Structure 1
Amino acid sequence: MPPRFEPVLAVQVEMVEPRGSTHVVVVTRAEFQRAAQQLGRSFQMQGTPQETAQRLFQSMPEEELLAEVYRGRVLSLVPLGDKGSLVPEVEAALRAKYLRWCEGRGGGDCLGLFWDGPYLRTDDRRTLALALAFGTVLDETREALGRELSPQAVLSSLVWAAGLYLALWLVPEPSTKALAASLTVLLVAWLGLDTVWGLVDGWARMANRAHEATTFAELREAGEEFGRLLGTDAARAMILAVATLSGRTLGDVAARVRSLPRLNLMQAQWEAQGLHVPVPVAVQEAVAVEVVADSSRALAVVTSPQSALAGAMLNQNSSTGASGGHTGTIEIRHRGGNVQVILGNGQRWHLPRGKWLDDIPVEDRLGDELQAAARRFAREWGPHELSIAERAAISRARAAGNAKSVAHLEGLARGRWVHEKMKNQFRQLTWSHQGVDAVDPRPGGLKYEILSGTAQNFGVHGRRMATEFFRMIFF
């Protein structure tokens, strides 16, 4: 299925360095419970806790959130249709231990893990481990909600929503819409970038262990390890952040954020990290195309044209930006972890996992020549350039009344013609029918792919050559 493109604003991505280390803004138990009680009253339950959390994130069905593990490392979350490798006896024991744990937390299926079936699936085990990681903060939340607020349903929905949000960090091609971007902004302000990055790494380890766990003890151990990293203050912040953004729309988010405890300290920390938009405004207007994280410890929020918040990049290592001086927007983030970026100068690059903007050369004169030639040749092409075989195929499609086939065949013919003209003009390059189209054979030479600039073609080429680093020459 071709990737879905959304209108994006090519934003200036500024690399900034926090002035000093960041830290968690501490909220007392009393402050937390007052805020939880107030937010809980407006929490909107729609269906099961899992459905409520998924609807909150406008996320895909549960199959999109199952972990793919390779050599002990969580690489991505991919569809998984089976019930896992657990034998029924082990599943029964796990179920019994979970229900016993729920006895002191409202009883029954307190987290709503069995709404989709009688066994604990991968995402169920991951959610349970997260609930164990929250520890006493869940008890504080339940106490704050009170009996009249259906605390069990609200609490389980909050846990599910927090788990879905954390899971997005492991998805190479996430649907990080408004809520996830807003949560990222809120947590960076509340916890500081240092803590957020630690939670990303810790969650990946916990998700891996929960995915492989077969007993309640193993889930408890995984959850408690993450809980030690999370800590009481960050756990409170995460619960309140999810509850803050759980209204019917994002229209009243700014008012909710302003009511949070210690907002003044959050704003100060947000500004210390180089971002001067008020936190309530940043949260409400973070209508994101994507929240991007890479190996250089960079975090980006890219926004839509309708948003007043243009975007921000936080980096712990540099205050001047990428070594190449590039700014850019991620246009496609593939499931394999590879991305396609559009630079501020209009260039489009395919970056495999492990590559980033600073790997793109400052200048690429050969690529610029290729790009100009491709567009010139594309303008010169016309039906008169069709071969006899191409004319016959197009005529058959037109006679059958298949307009889509006609357009497709003409596009293919145009692409072949442009490709051949490029080969004839740039004979110094090594051309191939397999892999990347053209390679500069000189030391340090780059790779180039010639393609028509359609959404489908961009998506196909990125998926087909996920491990290659190349510039996309399109027309």
Structure 2
Amino acid sequence: MDSKRVRWRGSECGVWVLLVLVLHAACVTGVPRTTPGQRGRQEAPRVTYDVDVMEAGRVEPKPVAVSPAEFQRAVRVLAREVRWKGTPREAARALLEVAEEAREAERVRMEGEWRAEGARGQVYSLVPVSQTGPVPLTPEAEEALRARYVGWCEKRGGGDCLGLLEDGPYLGMEDRRTWALALAMGPVLDETREALAHEVLDVRGVVALVVWTVSLYCMAWVVPEPTVKAVAASLTVMLVAWLGLDTVWGLMEGWMRLATRAHEASTFGELREAGEEYAKVLGGSAARVLVLAVGALMGHTVGQVAARVKALPGFTSAGARWEAQRGGAEVMGRVDVSARDALVAAVETVEWVAATPGGALAVVQLKKGGGSAGGGRGTGTVLRHRGGNRQMVLGNGQRWHLPRGKSEGDIPAEDVVGDELQKAVTEAARKWTPNELTLNEQRAIEKALREGEYWLARLLEREARGRFVHTQVRTRFEGLFRFNHRGVDVIDPNTGHRYEILSGTESNLARHGRRMAGEFFRMLTF
């Protein structure tokens, strides 16, 4: 098979089984209610989402094969309809809704005409912003790398073929990792240029657009518990369908290594080595799927995207793979219309995709015609799990988990105890600092940092923070409530109401909803 399966090392910090999604605060604002003086006014409609949780290992990790001939035929069709505004970098940012502010974490502008770039406290480059002035400043290593890049571009359209020099005369962190990706995808990008050689369009721009889109998309996953939305979510659905979740996780782990090595690189040889290592993970079929997925999603309406997805090589097999990973097909070889329709529907309606290292993925799709709040509690958002359990976010901000058989009417009209516990959880979380880490926790985090697994280091710190919050709340309310080591964290002996203390990240909320599908409880988040 073309793709090498790479497993996460996240098992060192526990088993991460889950995933599912909760919306940002904007989605849970209060819902207007009807009063005697407002008989004609209806309550705001309830927003309902369907959630599919996929786990690695459900199906064979071998990707759907796309041959060079099939790839080139599809590229020619897709490219004729691709339109974009601005430079390829700007168009990729617009497509994936990536704001320039997202780079501020890895960029620090110094006084004068110098720019320092770094991440996690480490500076990777220090270069002049421009080469103007009475005495132009030219750092030797940066100038040598720039010259190699321009020379590399001579056979690939000439000039600044990937648009890496648009923001300055030297290659920054973002530019270096984007070039390393282009080196990794080299043979498939050559196939793309060959396919478009006789087409009347900007071949260099199309290739640069693909490379920038893939680079920015991959960077969205370099966080402990990533969540992507809009076009990036649709792209994720397509990759999981054609490549399989196991392969996608391998590609993302490989990308983390590529990004780290590219940030540290100061020569073309070091960048080339980073690209060659990632090429072994990526493989030809996966690289072709990345190019085709970007082309199918670029600059078109939902209806047009659906038609383009259906026309892609391997669509029928991808539909069967998608359904199998959702749990809808017992045998991978089963292919039917419903499986293909489910894949197209997911590409069209996916709102968010959330993930946790360990191999699981939560795909959240907006349910069309989500219904109204009726005469209930003014519920703002409902997330429906495949197993029949639901997560409900009320207009007052409370989050409740309802197992199958429980309804909105089972949620207490008032929950003074829960409100008091939520207040205590919030206060405890504010007291947390890294100084609270135990020696063992510090060693585990340092080990993850040494191995370049920054996402794991942040997850370990988040777990430590959670243990701190649990201890603080338990100490404060010991004797008043029953605290458990297993199952639901807190039980009020007077009412029987149950409460779970957990970090409010998308994946953690989903993990608890999945793991505790049969429990009725309120989620206390920090």
Shorter-normalised TM-score: what interval? Answer: 0.5 to 0.7
SS of the equivalent of 1:5 reads helix
CA distance in 2, matches of 1:249, 1:168: 23
Query: Which residue of 2 is the match for residue 32 of structure 1?
Result: 71
Which of 186, 190, 196 is the equivalent residue of 2:238? 186
The whole-number CA distance in structure 2 between the counterparts of 1:249 and 1:84 is 40
Pairs within 5 Å for 1:281-292: 281-288=344-351, 290-292=352-354
Instruction: State the one-letter code of the partner of 1:302.
Output: V
Contact 2:180 2:275 in 1 (8 A): yes
- Measured in 2, the distance between the counterparts of 1:223 and 1:251 equals 36
**Residue deviations 1:261-298 (CA, integer Å, cap 9, x gap):** 1212212222232254625523432331x311113311
**Counterpart in 1 of 2:320?**
268
Mapping 1:324-335, distance limit 5 Å: none
Cα distance in 2 between the residues matched to 1:278 and 1:370: 41
Change (3 A) 1:371 1:17: farther
- Is this contact kept in 2: 1:49–1:112, CA < 8 A? yes
Provide structure 1 residue ranges, at least 5 long, that are not aligned to the other structure.
69-76, 314-319, 332-339, 347-367, 376-417, 424-429, 449-460
Sequence identity (%):
44
Contact 2:56 2:360 in 1 (8 A): no
Determine the structure 1 residue equivalent to 2:192.
141
Residues 301/51 of structure 1: CA separation in 2 closer, same or farther (3 Å cut) = same
**Structure 1 CA distance for aligned equivalents of residues 314 and 355 of structure 2:** 27
The question of whether the paired residues in 2 share the 8 Å contact of 1:181 and 1:286 is answered with no
Separation of aligned partners in 2, 1:232 and 1:432:
47
Q: Please state if 1:373 is matched with 2:416.
A: yes
Distance 1:233 1:471, change over 3 A: same
Which one of 204, 209, 220 corresponds to residue 261 of structure 2?
Answer: 209
Corresponding position of 2:276: 224
Residue of structure 2 in register with 1:51 after alignment:
90
Q: Which runs of 5+ in 2 are unaligned?
A: 1-23, 29-46, 108-117, 128-137, 329-338, 371-381, 404-410, 433-468, 491-502, 513-520
CA distance in 2, matches of 1:18, 1:433: 39
- Alpha-carbon distance in 1 for matches of 2:322, 2:391: 23
Distance 1:372 1:169, change over 3 A: same
Describe the SS at the equivalent of 1:119. Answer: coil
Scaled by the length of structure 2, the TM-score of the pair is 0.59
Residue in structure 2 matching 1:344, options 374, 386, 401:
401
- Does 1:122 pair with 2:173? yes
CA RMSD of aligned residues (A): 4.4
Q: Which residue of 2 aligns with 1:84?
A: 125
1:296 aligns to 2:317 (yes or no): no
Amino acid aligned to 1:345: L
Separation in 2, partners of 1:62, 1:153: 24
Partner residue, 2:27? 6
Alpha-carbon distance, 1:32 to partner: 0.5
Deviation (angstroms), 1:18: 6.0
- TM-score, normalised to structure 1, is 0.64
Count matched residues.
361
Query: Is residue 21 of structure 1 aligned with residue 83 of structure 2?
Result: no
| SS of 2:219 mapped into structure 1 | helix
* 1:53-452 aligned within 5 A: 53-61=92-100, 63-64=102-103, 84-85=125-126, 88-146=139-197, 148-171=200-223, 176-273=228-325, 274-275=327-328, 276=339, 278=341, 280-288=343-351, 290-306=352-368, 344-345=401-402, 372-374=415-417, 419=420, 434=431, 436=469, 438-439=473-474, 441=478, 444=485
The one-letter amino acid of 1:227's match is A
Large movers: runs of 4+ above 6 Å = 77-83, 310-313, 368-371, 420-423, 430-433, 445-448
**Bigger mean CA offset, 206-215 vs 297-306:** 297-306
- Measure how far apart 1:19 and its partner are: 5.5
**Residue 362 of structure 2: SS of its match in structure 1?**
strand
Q: Secondary structure at the match of 1:266?
A: helix
